[in-house]
A and B are shown apart, each in its own frame.
Chain A
Amino acid sequence: AQSVTQLGSHVSVSEGALVLLRCNYSSSVPPYLFWYVQYPNQGLQLLLKYTSAATLVKGINGFEAEFKKSETSFHLTKPSAHMSDAAEYFCAVSAPGSQGNLIFGKGTKLSVKP
């Protein structure tokens, strides 16, 4: 069975500061990992995904994440926050044989202060 834990339901950073959103996973098989972003009153948009290729994954809008098997982590980072990054971020896991079943974390709300 797979599960995802996102540490911190709310993260606040200043514009221009580093963004770090934490995600730890549990999986009995090598996982596939995803980060999605949800802007207010909108659907989810894929930021990036890890599918057992390179462990450092680059996504859209300057975000990247690193898969660390030893730490069972897939933290999302961005060097410099922008006001437009304010949104809810979800980490999700699926596994081979899961038939596309995405297990989501509880989400982290990112606020960006001017």
Chain B
Amino acid sequence: DTAVSQTPKYLVTQMGNDKSIKCEQNLGHDTMYWYKQDSKKFLKIMFSYNNKELIINETVPNRFSPKSPDKAHLNLHINSLELGDSAVYFCASSQTRRGTGLAGGYNEQFFGPGTRLTVL
């Protein structure tokens, strides 16, 4: 059973198109994240949701819009794709530990396999 899954694994599209990446976790976690890994392997957080509520929203163009229909899903929609959006996008999830609140900061994050987005 895959703990954190993403679809599609590969996505090739033209500039200007709109695309979505889906993420699902079956771990029962309450927090989910999106990360972007660039061509130099640098990883940076984009968003995180806790119980469907947006809690981290880093400086990301508003062409990127996350949506969390429920605790187990966090999708990423990208409008008007640009060449610079080409990257690998990782979804992750974690469980807030009792007594720590979301401020714990040390909850282990489980990562999905990634979606390689190529914008031509």
Taking Cβ atoms with an 8 Å cutoff, the residues of A that contact B are 32, 34, 36, 38, 41-46, 49, 51, 88, 90, 94-102, 104, 106-107
A-B contact count (CB 8 A): 69
* Cβ-defined partner of B4 (8 Å) among A38, A41, A43, A94: A43
The answer to whether B56 and A99 touch across the interface, beta carbons within 8 angstroms, is yes
Determine the residue in chain B with the shortest Cβ distance to A92: B43
Contacts of A99 in B (CB 8 A): 48, 50, 55-56, 102-103, 105
Determine the residue in chain A with the shortest Cβ distance to B96: A100
Size class of B's contact patch? 20 to 34
Contacts of B44 in A (CB 8 A): 104
Determine the residue in chain A with the shortest Cβ distance to B43: A104
A43 and B103 alpha carbons, distance in the complex (Å): 25
Residue interface mask B19-58, A partner, CB < 8 A = 1: 0000000000001010000001111110010100001100
Q: How far is the CB of B12 from chain A (nearest CB, A)?
A: 16
Q: How far is the CB of B23 from chain A (nearest CB, A)?
A: 11
Q: Is B94 in contact with chain A by the CB < 8 A criterion?
A: yes
